[in-house]
Amino acid sequence: MSQPPGTALLGRLAVHLKMISLEQLAEATREQSKGDPPKRLGDILTDKGFITQKQLAKLVQAQQQVIAKQRSQAAEKAPASAAAPSPAPAPAAARASGDVELDRILREGIAKGASDVHFHSGVGVQLRVSGALVPLAGAPLEPAAAERMLISALPEAEAKILAEHFELDFCLEVAGVGRFRGNLYRQQRGLDAVFRYIPAEPPSLEQLGLPSTLARFTGYHQGLVLVTGPSGCGKSSTLAALVNLINEERREHILTIEDPVEYVHRSKRCLVNQRSVHRHTESFARALRAALREDPDVIVIGELRDLETISLALTAAETGHLVLATLHTDNAIRTINRVIGSYPSDAQGQVRTMLSESLRAVISQRLIPRADGKGRVAALETLIVNKAVGNLIREDKTFQIQSILQTGASQGMALLDASIQQHVKSGAIARAEALRYCADPKNLAA
């Protein structure tokens, strides 16, 4: 459910002026999301006793001043922006003349509900549908024919990279279908490829079946928000939905660094620039170092892969930027330990302090097949870093965060197992399937 205009700004101002805490803002926005039509945020804050009517009047006045200033600045920039077109989306691979068959197979795969299309030399095409691989009718791909078809989708420069390194990440676009993130790699039978489908428009939280309460994580103006989980669990889509919310609600500069660019975000209220590693920049680390001089408000990192990237992301979060990123970890506590553990032991004490002050939230998710066989449903573990969690990170007692996740439902926190249990109760997923994903199956069995 969309919020009334100005809601995000009013909430941010209330936190900035120290009238309310982030936890109180989260509670108020949760209540607001339940209303139809939604109540005004200011009314909820006064009803709950978080602020007085006098403070609300001050907030509204400050909100009006900010909006007037934004409009004035926009008017001053209008002549220049009218002459300059919106930033062009990162280009997908140039289409070649010999890839008609590739296009046909990709179209057919998406029509059958595939999230990924696998091309394997010597084997038939495989589709990943609702998490399982399903063969696409047709003869096995002869290695030579498979190689000709796949390389035909590449521009000359990327074909040279494949020849040199034997593997390649890239994107291509199929007219009327959308974009695909492709990975080409050589194996013993020949050249193989996997294409991940990326819709033409970024998704909304509602379209992904995610709770609207996740929108609170777009309200921060500084800090680190991590979306984690195993490969194929929908991290990129969740990240894209959060970025799209910021793009629709704020007037800021969003800079994304990806390998390759997946969802294309066209500038809405925000100015969005997207950079692809190896195409527009040498590496994540090099792009992040440069980003601090490019006046971004929000930095989006496709993946935290190494110590240098993690270190630069933490620095950016500490220096007044909102940093959104993904990480391949399977729960919130392991995410924190992974970040700290990537540093040398003699630096970990300082990193704990940095992380306790900069980390805002961790969203860890899984995609679980639905009981009716129609797609998958997202189960989430959500950690909000409040004062208690920050202290446990600083004191190297992250194992105790488990109990805060168990008891923090009123603040919007949840363990993965609790989210899975809710889906079982609602009938969205079968108990037998849920047991495969629970961290402690005994809880679900009980």
Total-model pTM: 0.75
At residue 368 the predicted structure's pLDDT band, cuts being 50, 70 and 90, is very high
How far lies 379's CA from each of 61, 98, 128, 143, 233, in Å? 40, 41, 19, 39, 10
What is the pLDDT, as a whole number, of residue 88? 45
Bigger pLDDT: 37 vs 119: 119
Q: What is the pLDDT of residue 17?
A: 76
> Tens digit of pLDDT for each residue in 402-411?
999 999 988 9
Band (pLDDT 50/70/90 cuts) for residue 139 is confident
Query: What percentage of residues in the chain have a pLDDT greater than 70?
Result: 87
Tell me, what's the pLDDT at 439? 85
Residue 3's pLDDT band (cuts 50, 70, 90): very low
Q: Which of 12-26, 72-86, 429-443 is most confident?
A: 429-443
In this predicted model, what pLDDT tens digit does every residue of 58-96 receive, in sequence order?
888 777 777 666 666 555 544 443 334 444 444 454 444
Q: Which of 165-169, 290-294, 393-397 has the highest mean pLDDT?
A: 393-397
pLDDT at 211: 92
Give the model's confidence band at 106: pLDDT under 50 very low, under 70 low, under 90 confident, else very high: very high
Q: What is the pLDDT of residue 418?
A: 92
Burial tier of 186 (Cβ tally within 10 Å: 0-12, 13-18, 19+): middle
Each residue of 283-302: b (16+ CB within 10 Å) or e? bbbebbeebeeeebbbbbbb
Distance CA 376, CA 364 (A): 16
pLDDT of residue 82: 39
Tens of pLDDT, residue by residue over 209-260, are 999 999 999 999 999 999 999 988 999 999 999 999 999 999 999 999 998 8
Q: How confident is the model at residue 33 (pLDDT cuts 50, 70, 90)?
A: low
pLDDT grade for 204, boundaries at 50, 70 and 90:
very high
Q: What is the structure's pLDDT at 94?
A: 44
Cα–Cα distance measured from residue 77 to residue 80, given in angstroms and rounded to the nearest whole number = 6
Between CA 241 and CA 295 the distance in angstroms is 23
Q: Does residue 97 have a pLDDT over 50? A: no
- Beta-bridge mates of residue 377: 368
Residue 8: pLDDT over 70: no
- Work out the mean pLDDT of the chain and round it to a whole number: 86
Tens of pLDDT, residues 334-365: 999 999 999 999 999 999 999 999 999 999 99
**Residue 56 clears pLDDT 90, i.e. is over it:** no
Residue 425: the pLDDT is: 92
Residue 412 vs residue 57, higher pLDDT: 412
**Cα(327)–Cα(310) distance, integer angstroms:** 10
pLDDT for the residue numbered 44? 86
Quick check: helix, strand or coil at residue 367?
strand
